Amino acid sequence: MKKIIVACGGGIATSQTVAVKLENLLKERGLGNKASIEAININSIPTYIKSSDIYVSITQEPEGKYEIPVFSGIPFLTGIGAEEELEKIIKVINS
Protein backbone atom coordinates (compact mmCIF):
# COMPACT_ATOMS: atom_id res chain seq x y z
CA MET A 1 0.00 0.00 0.00
CA LYS A 2 1.31 3.43 -0.97
CA LYS A 3 1.24 6.22 1.60
CA ILE A 4 0.13 9.61 0.29
CA ILE A 5 0.52 12.80 2.28
CA VAL A 6 -1.39 15.97 1.44
CA ALA A 7 0.00 19.14 2.99
CA CYS A 8 -1.15 22.72 3.37
CA GLY A 9 -0.35 25.53 5.77
CA GLY A 10 -2.62 24.42 8.59
CA GLY A 11 -3.17 20.76 7.80
CA ILE A 12 -6.88 21.14 8.43
CA ALA A 13 -9.17 22.65 5.81
CA THR A 14 -7.48 22.67 2.42
CA SER A 15 -5.35 19.56 2.75
CA GLN A 16 -8.26 17.67 4.29
CA THR A 17 -10.51 18.68 1.38
CA VAL A 18 -7.96 17.48 -1.17
CA ALA A 19 -7.30 14.27 0.78
CA VAL A 20 -11.01 13.37 0.83
CA LYS A 21 -11.43 14.25 -2.86
CA LEU A 22 -8.39 12.15 -3.81
CA GLU A 23 -9.55 9.26 -1.65
CA ASN A 24 -12.98 9.29 -3.31
CA LEU A 25 -11.49 9.44 -6.80
CA LEU A 26 -9.21 6.48 -6.06
CA LYS A 27 -12.14 4.49 -4.63
CA GLU A 28 -14.19 5.22 -7.78
CA ARG A 29 -11.39 3.62 -9.79
CA GLY A 30 -11.12 0.60 -7.51
CA LEU A 31 -7.82 1.73 -6.00
CA GLY A 32 -9.04 2.62 -2.51
CA ASN A 33 -7.21 -0.33 -0.99
CA LYS A 34 -3.91 0.54 -2.70
CA ALA A 35 -3.25 3.85 -0.93
CA SER A 36 -3.63 5.48 2.45
CA ILE A 37 -4.00 9.25 2.47
CA GLU A 38 -3.20 11.61 5.32
CA ALA A 39 -3.69 15.39 5.52
CA ILE A 40 -0.83 17.09 7.36
CA ASN A 41 0.51 20.51 8.27
CA ILE A 42 3.25 21.70 5.91
CA ASN A 43 5.63 22.06 8.87
CA SER A 44 5.32 18.30 9.46
CA ILE A 45 6.67 17.36 6.03
CA PRO A 46 10.22 16.55 7.22
CA THR A 47 8.76 13.96 9.61
CA TYR A 48 6.23 12.42 7.22
CA ILE A 49 8.19 12.53 3.95
CA LYS A 50 10.55 9.77 5.09
CA SER A 51 7.75 7.22 5.37
CA SER A 52 5.63 8.38 2.41
CA ASP A 53 5.49 7.35 -1.24
CA ILE A 54 3.66 10.34 -2.73
CA TYR A 55 3.37 13.98 -1.68
CA VAL A 56 0.41 16.07 -2.87
CA SER A 57 1.22 19.72 -2.22
CA ILE A 58 -1.15 22.65 -2.02
CA THR A 59 1.82 25.03 -2.31
CA GLN A 60 4.37 25.30 -5.10
CA GLU A 61 7.37 23.08 -4.38
CA PRO A 62 10.71 23.30 -6.20
CA GLU A 63 11.25 20.35 -8.53
CA GLY A 64 13.56 17.73 -7.06
CA LYS A 65 13.28 19.00 -3.49
CA TYR A 66 12.06 15.63 -2.22
CA GLU A 67 13.08 12.08 -3.05
CA ILE A 68 9.47 11.03 -3.65
CA PRO A 69 7.09 12.14 -6.43
CA VAL A 70 5.38 15.47 -5.73
CA PHE A 71 2.04 16.35 -7.33
CA SER A 72 -0.08 19.49 -7.22
CA GLY A 73 -3.19 19.43 -5.07
CA ILE A 74 -4.62 22.57 -6.67
CA PRO A 75 -6.35 20.68 -9.53
CA PHE A 76 -8.35 18.73 -6.93
CA LEU A 77 -9.59 22.02 -5.47
CA THR A 78 -10.42 23.73 -8.75
CA GLY A 79 -11.33 20.72 -10.87
CA ILE A 80 -9.10 22.06 -13.64
CA GLY A 81 -6.56 19.41 -14.58
CA ALA A 82 -7.69 17.01 -11.85
CA GLU A 83 -8.00 14.03 -14.20
CA GLU A 84 -4.50 14.54 -15.56
CA GLU A 85 -2.98 14.88 -12.10
CA LEU A 86 -4.94 11.87 -10.86
CA GLU A 87 -3.61 9.73 -13.73
CA LYS A 88 -0.03 10.65 -12.77
CA ILE A 89 -0.72 9.66 -9.16
CA ILE A 90 -2.32 6.37 -10.25
CA LYS A 91 0.80 5.50 -12.27
CA VAL A 92 2.91 5.82 -9.13
CA ILE A 93 0.41 3.84 -7.06
CA ASN A 94 0.50 1.02 -9.60
CA SER A 95 4.28 1.04 -9.95
State the catalytic residues.
8
Let me know if 77 is exposed, middle or buried by CB neighbors in 10 A (0-12, 13-18, 19+): middle
Q: At what angle do helices 13-28 and 82-93 cross, to 10 degrees?
A: 70
Q: What angle do CA 76, 32, 59 make, to 5 degrees?
A: 30
Cβ atoms within 10 Å of 85's Cβ, excluding its own: 19
